[in-house]
Amino acid sequence: MFFSPIVKRYGGFFGLRTKYLQTNSALKKKFYLFLNRGFQHETNSYLPFETQIAGPINFVHGIYGIFISGGAVIGRNCIVFQQVTIGSNMLIDSKGFGSPVIGDNCLIGAGAKVIGNVTIGANCRIGANAVVTVDLPDNSVCVAGKPIIIQKEHLTNRIYAMSKQGWGYVEDGRFVVENKLEVLAKLNKNRD
Q: What is the DSSP letter of 161?
A: E
**What mean pLDDT comes out for the span 108-119?**
96
**pLDDT score, position 190:** 67
Q: Around 113, how many Cα atoms within 13 Å sit in the side-chain half-sphere? A: 9
- pLDDT, one tens digit per residue, over 78-112 is 999 999 999 999 887 788 899 999 999 999 999 99
Q: Where do the domains of the chain lie, and which CATH numbers do they carry?
A: 1-43 (no CATH), 44-146 (2.160.10.10), 161-191 (no CATH)
Q: Are 87 and 105 in contact (CB under 8 A)?
A: no
Quick one: which of 108, 107, 96, 82 has its CA closest to 135? 96
**Residue 175: pLDDT over 80:** yes
Q: Give the pTM.
A: 0.77
**Residue 113: pLDDT over 60:** yes
**What mean pLDDT comes out for the span 39-49?**
95
- pLDDT, one tens digit per residue, over 47-81 is 999 999 999 999 999 899 999 999 999 999 999 99
